[in-house]
Chains A and B, each alone.
Chain A
């Protein structure tokens, strides 16, 4: 029983890690806490839902579509809106992304209504057994996709010129500018990339959880929890944070009741902020 609960937690934790990574990336480079983050997940999930519902496209095949659409969306928002106040005090970007999130989530609510929707391809319920443990194929596949996305992002930042330019901008903006990097463009690309990778996890989430316009709020909270645990701006930390949240949630849902998750999340957050504000690895920005 306990092992089964842990397995479930880890499988969900992979998805959690993948949406927290986008949050961490955007914070690490742009130094803004993106309240819009939950909306990226919601949009990714809805893209997958509609492609599946209207055209019968397999949810996994819709991932590239989510990625591209949200990249363009994020790029434009940063390029034309957030860049205008990027040098202003932190509270301004908090407010601005909060306003944008109000617009997007309520626009979605007006257009798509508040119904809870499900993406359920015929293989949705299939599973296999190892020893006596049940592992659903879908959860395993989404877990692998999520980890692959995190890995790809990490390699992109380490190995490509654009990735290095992003890292350089986050470390020293003036230095990067001297080397011919345009911070405003890097910001737009980073925000687009953060949105796109988050949309991937939105698509993956739609396979396990219901899709509705106001779903973003919870995921914003979870993202924050994960990146604080892993260290704000420290990308590998998000992986650990995601797994911890997945396990924590799975345990509390099974043994304490679903409502307790929020209380536990807050208590753990509280203790971590006191004991290790820079995350469990101590590499976050405080």
Chain B
């Protein structure tokens, strides 16, 4: 296990070094591609903080990405606010909304939460459509244009570091252990003195906060927002698939799952738009039936046999 840990940290350091140095060599296309991969690692990681550690599947996680994106956009366009405070307020709003939605739904079984979130994301999309005075509604919202792609590369990369840091804290802290206890046996955790409801809410808030930050960066990066894009159900689907493919409830899982799927997507997406999603569906079924602990689980099993 120690050897495995050393190996893990070694890989980490190399990857971080590689990511920091990449802009020296890489061209525009590759930087954009890497920035997207960072975005997906962050998003899959944020879903993982909730779903992987508490066992609550979220079918509407894109709502927080969209809230962060639109709040950032609206503040920058209508109040002329600089990017960072706007993004921060957007992320705070995402976290607050998560807590508000979580209060009734997280007391019930996970299925209520999963689909209530689906309804929430759909409702948020409609709210953005209705408040078209601020959000531009279906016509979209144009943000101030900023084309420094290195800025977006590094800031997206820092969300990856943030996500990994928080996940690491979940893995090691008492709070994280309480969450895992909830995932494994909620009643037992409750009886052991864990305030399960509050722990779940906090995890949900943190997870939404990170998704909100990434949404804000995405808005500034793309400089244009559509309700249909910012609240696209597909974004939620990808987050779920990436987290579970890599291994939900692990540190490396979302990183591996997101990199793998984003890379495969880059190759397949353009040519097989719909058949691609069929393949993804088969992957989900395969993961559930054969590989319930994801790729990371597979590697760990192998490591244990040695």
Which A residues form the contact surface with B (CB < 8 A)?
Answer: 27, 33, 81, 84-85, 88-92, 94-96, 98-104, 106-107, 109-110, 217, 220-221, 224-225, 228, 232, 257, 259-260, 262-263, 265-267, 269-270, 273-274, 277, 285-286
Q: In the complex where A96-B289, A99-B282, A99-B284 touch, is A33 in contact with B274 (Cβ < 8 A)?
A: no
**Which B residues touch A85, using CB under 8 A?**
288-289
The answer to whether the Cβ of B223 comes within 8 Å of any Cβ in the partner chain is no
A225 contacts which chain B residues (CB < 8 A)?
119
Chain A contact residues: helix, strand, loop or mixed: helix
Interface residues on B, range: 35 or more
27 A-B residue contacts at CB 8 Å? A85-B288, A85-B289, A94-B110, A96-B284, A96-B285, A96-B288, A99-B282, A99-B285, A100-B285, A101-B281, A102-B237, A102-B281, A102-B284, A220-B115, A221-B115, A221-B118, A224-B115, A225-B119, A262-B123, A262-B125, A265-B123, A269-B119, A273-B105, A273-B116, A277-B104, A277-B108, A277-B112
Chain A, residue nearest B285 (CB): A99
Hey, which chain B residues are within 8 Å of A259, CB to CB? Answer: 126, 129-130
Decide if B278 touches A107 in the complex (CB within 8 Å): yes
Q: Point out the residues of chain B lying under 8 angstroms from A277, CB to CB.
A: 104, 107-108, 112
- Other than the given A224-B118, A263-B123, A273-B112, 7 more pairs (CB < 8 A) read A91-B55, A91-B57, A96-B289, A110-B274, A110-B278, A224-B119, A266-B116
Q: CB-CB < 8 A to B277: which residues of A?
A: 102, 106
Q: Does B240 contact A (CB under 8 A)?
A: yes
Q: A96-B288, A263-B127 known; A106 and B275 CB under 8 Å? A: yes
Nearest B residue (CB) for A98: B284
Bound-state Cα–Cα, A72 to B280, Å: 25
Q: Is the CB of A266 within 8 A of B123?
A: yes
Closest Cβ of chain A to B292, distance in Å, is 7
Closest 8 CB pairs of A and B: A99-B284, A102-B281, A103-B281, A266-B123, A33-B111, A99-B285, A106-B277, A273-B104
B residues bordering A, Cβ < 8 Å? 51, 55, 57, 59, 101, 103-105, 107-112, 114-116, 118-120, 122-123, 125-127, 129-130, 233, 237, 240, 244, 274-275, 277-278, 280-285, 287-289, 292
Q: Known: A103-B281, A259-B130, A277-B107. Contact between A95 and B57, CB under 8 A?
A: yes
- Whether the pair B114, A94 counts as a contact (CB closer than 8 A) is yes
Contact B289 A103 (CB under 8 A): no
The chain B residue sitting closest to A217, CB to CB, is: B233
Q: Which one, B119, B130, B280, contacts A266 given CB within 8 A?
A: B119
Q: How far is the CB of A237 from chain B (nearest CB, A)?
A: 15
The answer to whether B110 and A90 touch across the interface, beta carbons within 8 angstroms, is: yes
Q: How far is the CB of B117 from chain A (nearest CB, A)?
A: 10
Q: Cβ of A81: which chain B residues have Cβ within 8 Å of it?
A: 285, 289
Are B281 and A100 in contact (CB-based, < 8 A)?
Answer: yes
| B52–chain A nearest beta-carbon distance, Å | 10
Chain B contacts for A95, CB-based, 8 A: 57, 240, 244, 284, 287-288
CB neighbours of A89 from chain B (8 A): 55
Question: How far is it, in angstroms, between the C-alpha of A285 and the C-alpha of B287 when the chains are bound?
Answer: 29
* Chain B residues in 8 Å Cβ range of A100: 281, 285
